[in-house]
């Protein structure tokens, strides 16, 4: 059976390479350079659209652990990165042109991969296996077909998300639980005094933002205002808007605080919380600086920053099974950022995972879920099974992994043990279930 892969980005390249090198017939559709996206600049596969850093290689960093697991499974992204490496301390940074050229040539060398430089605008789901890996800048030509396939409500066009922090990094000595006029454990409330509010407001209005194109700006702002824009409209705007304290009584004072920042639970296990109404265009460093002005979040571990840019992704928890197959068309898979993973490495990792299971299916075996003790397994399981409410794209992070059986106080030691457990688990999984 032929496997059709749409999009030769980070994810699609991993799918095509990992299947092609095992002799599976693949048709890889890539519309560039004939038709470019708004973010790509070349005709190479796996082009890095922004930073040239593939982030840390240290396994006590979530991105480093992800790479270690990807290496065990086999990754063209990491093979090419090795050849394109530029000095960058503990991080893996690459010469982006050498990197993309290496990936492109490695795929071009595979006899079983046919490369078709065309935009796909529709396809017949019955014609072999399909992997949609068209990324955050999926072409407008394909969107009507995807809408028809998935349903209007299941395709998100903009990524306007608030920052997410880990529960364990919130200062719960100061924060308090409760909904407006009620109790419950769905919201954590971070109270601010008048002085703290003013300091926070000042930092917010002075912080640097990422510029957007006028068209995106207009479309996006019709739907939701970035927090810094609300703040700019007046000193009290936030206090009467997303930071209003109405109905939230601080048990320590018995009164409503001057202002309150609410955090909403993001996952079923309560390990992640997002800041309510905090969609923002602030640069990442600035977000960190501004959030640290909130006393309960002084030591907050931010696992994803708020962003606002065009980003096509689907409602994976509703649409996909754990193998990233469409529930209603099991021969259509999705891979990469369109599934709701975020980041170069996460996108590539999802491509490896999809290739692994497509390969198993073609061998007549059942697809397999990766163990949750691995970074890959926990990330994919988060997206499909653990999210509560709307899916927001997610990076690899240690908060996703199931806790250790023994309590380890030191943060570094804990990560080291989690990473060692993840690598051992992945090795054992692959020994028992090789490609």
Minimum CB distance to ligand FAD smaller for 133 or for 387: 133
CB atoms within 10 A of CB 348: 31
Apex 320 CA angle, 153 and 317, nearest 5: 65
The answer to the question of residue 64 lying near ligand FAD (CB under 6 A) is no
Ranges of H-type helices in 178-235: 194-206, 214-223, 227-232
Taking CB atoms, the residue at the shortest distance from ligand FAD is 9
Q: How far apart are the first and last CA of the chain?
A: 18
Cis peptide before 33 (omega within 30 of 0): yes
- The continuous run of DSSP H or E covering 53 comes out as strand 53-56
The 142-171 site mask, x for binding ligand FAD (CB under 6 A), equals x-----------------------------
Whole-angstrom Cα distance, residue 121 to residue 146? 9
Q: Which stretch binds ligand FAD (CB under 6 A): 36-44, 197-205, 355-363, 365-373?
A: 36-44
What is the chain's Cα-based Rg? 22
E strands in 266-368: 272-275, 302-304, 307-314, 325-326, 329-334
Least Cβ distance, residue 318 to ligand FAD (angstroms): 19
Among residues 33, 34, 41, 51, which is the contact residue for ligand FAD, using CB under 6 A? 51
In the set 20, 64, 74, 135, which binds ligand FAD (CB under 6 A)? Answer: 135
DSSP string, 388-426: -SS---B---GGGSPPPSS---SHHHHHHHHHHHHHHHH
Size, binding site for ligand FAD by CB under 6 A: 37
How far is the C-alpha of 152 from the C-alpha of 138, rounded, in Å?
A: 16
- Cα separation of 88 and 92, whole Å? 6
CB-nearer residue toward ligand FAD: 71 or 117: 117
Instruction: Write b or e for each residue in 300-317: b if 16 or more Cβ atoms lie within 10 A of its Cβ, otherwise e.
Output: bbbbbbbbbbbbbbbbbb
Binding segment toward ligand FAD, per CB under 6 A, in 33-41, 147-155, 323-331, 355-363: 33-41
Of 51 and 433, which CB lies nearer to ligand FAD in the complex structure? 51
Torsion of Cα atoms, 267 then 270 then 274 then 275, to 10° = 150
Q: Which two tokens stand for residue 435?
A: 């490609």
- The correct pick among 32, 96, 265, 392 for binding ligand FAD (CB under 6 A) is 32
Fill in the per-residue mask, 292 to 331: x = in contact with ligand FAD (CB under 6 A), - = not in contact.
-----------------x-x--------------------
Is residue 37 involved in binding ligand FAD (CB under 6 A)? yes
CB of 63 or CB of 228, closer to ligand FAD: 63
Closest CA to 99 of 51, 160, 132: 51
* Closer residue to ligand FAD, CB minimum distance, 189 or 280: 280
Report d(CA 141, CA 50) in Å as an integer: 24
30 binds ligand FAD (CB under 6 A): yes
> Which listed residue (18, 61, 134, 397) binds ligand FAD by CB under 6 A?
134
Stretch 340-399 residues interacting with ligand FAD (CB under 6 A) = 342-344, 347
The least CB distance from residue 257 to ligand FAD, in Å, is 37
Q: Which of residues 70-129 bind ligand FAD (CB under 6 A)?
A: 119-120
Query: Given candidates 5, 15, 28, 31, which one binds ligand FAD under the rule CB under 6 A?
Result: 31
Q: Which is nearer to ligand FAD, 29 or 333 (CB)?
A: 29
- What is the nearest approach in angstroms of ligand FAD to the Cβ of residue 134? 4
Q: Are 362 and 23 in contact (CB under 8 A)?
A: no
Which residues contact ligand FAD by CB under 6 A? 6-12, 29-32, 37, 39-40, 49-51, 119-120, 133-139, 141-142, 309, 311, 336-338, 342-344, 347
């Amino acid at each position: 059976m032929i496997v059709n892969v749409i999009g030769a980005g980070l994810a699609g390249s991993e799918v095509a390479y990992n299947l092609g090198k095992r002799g599976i017939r693949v048709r890889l559709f890539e519309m560039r350079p004939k038709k470019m996206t708004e973010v790509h600049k070349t005709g190479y596969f796996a082009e890095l659209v922004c930073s040239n850093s593939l982030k840390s290689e240290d396994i006590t960093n979530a991105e480093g652990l992800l790479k270690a697991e990807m290496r065990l499974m086999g990754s063209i992204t990491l093979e090419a990165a090795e050849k394109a490496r530029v000095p960058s301390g503990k991080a893996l940074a690459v010469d982006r042109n050498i990197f993309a050229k290496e990936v492109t040539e490695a795929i071009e060398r595979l006899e079983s991969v046919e490369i078709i430089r065309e935009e796909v605008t529709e396809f017949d789901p019955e014609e072999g296996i399909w992997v949609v890996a068209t990324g955050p800048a999926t072409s407008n030509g394909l969107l009507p077909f995807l809408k028809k396939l998935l349903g209007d409500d299941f395709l998100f066009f903009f990524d306007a998300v608030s920052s997410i922090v880990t529960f364990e990094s919130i200062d719960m000595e100061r924060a308090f639980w409760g909904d407006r006029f009620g109790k419950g454990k769905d919201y954590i409330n971070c109270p601010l005094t008048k002085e703290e509010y003013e300091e926070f407001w000042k930092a917010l209005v002075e912080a640097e933002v990422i510029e957007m194109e006028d068209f995106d700006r207009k479309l996006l702002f019709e739907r939701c205002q970035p927090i810094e824009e609300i703040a700019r409209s007046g000193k009290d705007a936030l206090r009467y808007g997303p930071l209003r304290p109405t109905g939230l009584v601080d048990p320590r004072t018995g009164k409503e605080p001057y202002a309150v920042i609410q955090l909403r639970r993001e996952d079923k296990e309560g390990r992640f919380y997002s800041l309510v109404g905090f969609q923002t265009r602030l640069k990442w460093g600035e977000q960190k600086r501004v959030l640290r002005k909130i006393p309960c979040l002084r030591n907050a571990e931010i696992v994803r920053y708020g962003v606002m840019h065009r980003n096509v992704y689907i409602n994976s928890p509703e649409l996909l099974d754990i193998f990233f197959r469409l529930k209603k068309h099991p021969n259509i898979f999705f891979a990469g950022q369109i599934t709701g993973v975020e980041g170069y490495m996460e996108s590539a990792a999802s491509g490896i995972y999809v290739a692994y299971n497509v390969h198993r299916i073609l061998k007549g075996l059942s697809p397999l879920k990766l163990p949750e003790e691995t970074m890959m397994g926990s990330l994919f399981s988060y997206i499909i099974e653990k999210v509560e409410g709307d899916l927001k794209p997610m990076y690899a992070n240690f908060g996703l992994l199931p806790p250790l059986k023994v309590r380890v106080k030191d943060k570094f030691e804990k990560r080291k043990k989690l990473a060692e457990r993840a690598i051992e688990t992945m090795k054992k999984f692959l020994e028992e279930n090789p490609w």
